[in-house]
Amino acid sequence: MSGQVPLAPVAITLGDPAGIGPEIIAKAFRQAPDATRGAFVAGDVAAMRRASQALALPGQPAWPVAQIAHIAEAAAVPPGCIPVLQVVAAPAENIVPGRIGAEAGRVAGDCVVWAARAALRGEIAAIVTAPLHKEALAAAGFPYPGHTELLQAEAAAHAGVAVDGMPVRMMLANDELRTVLVSIHMSLRDAITAVSFGSVLETLRITHRALQRMLGRAPRIGVAGLNPHAGEGGLFGSEERDIIAPAIAAAHAEGIDAQGPYAPDTVFMRARARPGVPGSGEFDVVIAMYHDQGLIPVKYLGVEKGVNVTLGLPLVRTSPDHGTAFDIAGTGRADASSLVEALRMARTLAGA
């Protein structure tokens, strides 16, 4: 490691300790030292040690976990160790792999809150969040349905504005496709109601700003319709004609290169880049009207490649494109590839 320029620190939050978060973190440090160099775990030392020991091969020592006292110490931890900063006041105890619990939710939520505040203070370059479980988070008393909303609330409080004054969007990305969602975690019935002129235009603005920074040029944005065949001229719904198309026109007036609305069942194919040829799709990103419309095509291409990026925050946050996988937690079978990609994207976005 001598002679290498120290990297700005990236915090990896522990995730739900009853899920695969600690396990994929340990695997990422073991399998991808280039991606984890300079990173540290914001979490619980005991939980990481349990995960490392569970992954040890018979007759082989566990991957060592090094407890650090300060963020700056992460850079000095030697290769072959996992640096962990104890940010949870009470260590995780009585955690059963694969079981939803308030204790696990508390640990996961506390790690995210600590990392968000550290990032907002400028102490770390980016946050990479291992998966948490929404039901466990709620059981622990956190009034947020997931990472995105929790981070939005922390950022709004830091800026001294109302939560709706800090609009954020979720982007799912891999090397073939990017999608940004107009609405995130809500019922489908509520998500349809959330498709308004303002929400679509705000999504276009946030996406344009974020992708322009990421790509170094104005992005080409394709917009999916809400209804089958993008409404078929009003035969299958009027949202495209009355809401989405006017929002696209308003974005054009602001210099945003947005096209559509297009039929949702084909626009993602038009945007998909050829493997290994970035930018070869017709669009750089697709705006999807609701959660599953945008996530299904990205996940179908392979969750091991997908990365979740929160757009609109005054900090960099990425995460793997999968959940806690309680069904395989503790078995050693979880794949760390998506977490590794999230680490690499976080470095790119943070310029670190």
Structural domain range at position 65: 10-164+313-350
Q: What pLDDT score does 2 carry?
A: 41
- DSSP letters, 9-57, are PEEEE---TTTTHHHHHHHHHHH-HHHHTTEEEEE-HHHHHHHHHHHPP
Burial of 119 (0-12, 13-18, 19+ CB in 10 A): buried
Same domain, 160 and 175: no
Q: Is residue 1 part of a domain?
A: no
CATH number at residue 291: 3.40.718.10
Entry pTM: 0.87
Q: What pLDDT score does 7 carry?
A: 61
What is the rounded distance in angstroms from the CA atom of residue 229 to the CA atom of residue 351? Answer: 40
Same domain, 105 and 198: no
Number of domains observed in the structure of the chain = 2
**Helices 337-350 and 21-31, interaxial angle, to 10°?**
70
What lies within 8 Å, CB to CB, of 289 at 6+ separation is 181, 182, 183, 191, 195, 200, 224, 225, 226, 244, 264
Q: What pLDDT score does 352 carry?
A: 56
Two tokens, residue 265: 């069942």
Q: What pLDDT score does 159 carry?
A: 96
Average pLDDT by stretches of 10, the chain with 352 residues:
59 96 95 92 94 85 90 88 92 85 95 97 96 94 91 96 93 93 92 96 96 92 95 89 97 97 96 86 96 92 85 94 90 92 91 65
Q: What pLDDT score does 3 carry?
A: 45
Q: Is residue 306 part of a domain?
A: no
Same domain, 44 and 159: yes
Same domain, 37 and 129: yes
How do beta strands 10-13 and 39-43 pair? parallel
Same domain, 273 and 326: no
Q: Is residue 135 part of a domain?
A: yes
Q: What pLDDT score does 56 carry?
A: 84
Same domain, 127 and 143: yes
Q: Is residue 5 part of a domain?
A: no
